[in-house]
Amino acid sequence: MNIGDASKLIKKDFPSISISRIRFLEKEGLIKPRRSKGGTRSFTDKDILKIKKILDLQENQYYTLKAIKNNPKLLLGKSEKSKIIIDQYSKHDALKKSGLKEEDFDELIDYKYEFKKDVYTHNDVERFSALAYLFSMGLGVKNLSVLKSMSDRGVGFFETFFKFSDNDPDEIKLSVEKFSEIIGSYILEDL
């Protein structure tokens, strides 16, 4: 099938596809459709499936084109998503992957818990995911100052405790559990 027909077929599942995007994927070396003697592209069912896989990786799983090119196992389906770590995200992609709302991110910046960057890492996305979860549970950016204050006080408590204890692992575990219960009760109290 020619490029126009291929585009129409793929458009049913991925409305964002265009003829120029298919040409770009070919230029980037991700697809290699056969060519007639006159130079016309001829797409097979296998080519169509590969294009759909690339689009799925980009649009549904938020992989960059660079990550797809550098991890050919993604296209073969022989690699689990969780095993491949992408370490460069735009702000848009980092927020989208983590589920953190733009307005929450802006408020985190206002309170100086986050900073604007050109490139965000996998660790940033993980942190944003945790923050998005906390916000979905009803906590807000203002609550983070309470958590930070409690954490700062807790560090002092533990430093003092471990300085004078015999570092018995069971005693340390019990102390951490009790301290966690105290923190949990304060957090729930503020909700």
The CATH topology of domain 3-83 is Multidrug-efflux Transporter Regulator; Chain: A; Domain 2 (1.10.1660)
Q: What is the pLDDT of residues 98-118, one digit of tens each?
A: 889 999 999 999 988 898 999
Radius of gyration of the chain (CA): 25
pTM > 0.75: no
Dist CA 31 CA 101 (whole Å): 35
Q: What residues does 143 pair with on adjacent strands?
A: none
Q: How far apart are CA 60 and CA 65, in angstroms?
A: 13
User: pLDDT tens digits for 141-169?
Assistant: 888 877 677 667 766 666 666 665 566 77
Q: pLDDT tens digits for 1-59?
A: 999 999 999 988 888 899 999 999 999 999 999 999 988 999 999 999 999 999 988 88
Rounded to whole angstroms, what are the CA distances from 116 to 33, 40, 144?
41, 46, 19
Domain positions in the chain: 3-83, 91-136, 141-190
Query: In angstroms, rounded to a whole number, what is the distance separating the alpha carbons of residues 27 and 189?
Result: 58
